[in-house]
Amino acid sequence: MAAVSRPHAARNAYLRELSDETIEIILGFIERATSPFSLVALRELGGAMARVPLDATAFAHRDKAFYLAADNSWEDEDRPERHIAWTEDFWQAVARHTDGAYASFLEDEGEDRVLSAYSPATAARLAVIKRRYDPGNLFRLNPNIRPA
């Protein structure tokens, strides 16, 4: 069976804690989902992942308690605005409770969101590596770190 690809909009971040207010926001958006394919993922973190030093790898959010993502996908439509709006509204509602992002699941959200996936020291190290191996920034159609 072939995988089905649908248009989608997504946002992700980390939480240091799962407050009652954040839970209420999540439940409210789930109740108002715009597609049968809308989802909010909440993953508890910690364990072995949290025992690795924060600066040991490029992944900088080992100290966070939860990963949170909204991924809204839908059948191909002429007017996807309501689905995109659901995702953006979710992000606006939870953003003040979040800390950082997971780079691999970022959409086109701007350089600040890309940098939020890394500690400042790690972002600087990645920029130096990028300057060495990709000074012309050929590989930029991803959550891009610019060459130093």
Q: Domain for residue 37, yes or no?
A: yes
Q: How far is residue 4 from each of residues 41, 74, 109, 134, measured CA to CA in Å?
A: 20, 11, 25, 33
Asked whether residue 119 is domain-assigned, the answer is no
Domain membership of residue 100 (yes or no) is yes
Q: Is residue 122 part of a domain?
A: no
Model's pTM, two decimal places?
Answer: 0.88
Number of domains in the chain: 1
Instruction: State how far the Cα of 86 lies from the Cα of 92, in Å rounded to an integer.
Output: 10
Predicted local confidence at residue 15, as pLDDT: 97
Please report whether residue 91 resides in a domain. yes
CATH number at residue 20: 3.40.462.20
Q: What tens digit of pLDDT does each residue of 3-38 get?
A: 668 899 999 999 999 999 999 999 999 999 999 999
Q: How high is the mean pLDDT of the chain?
A: 93
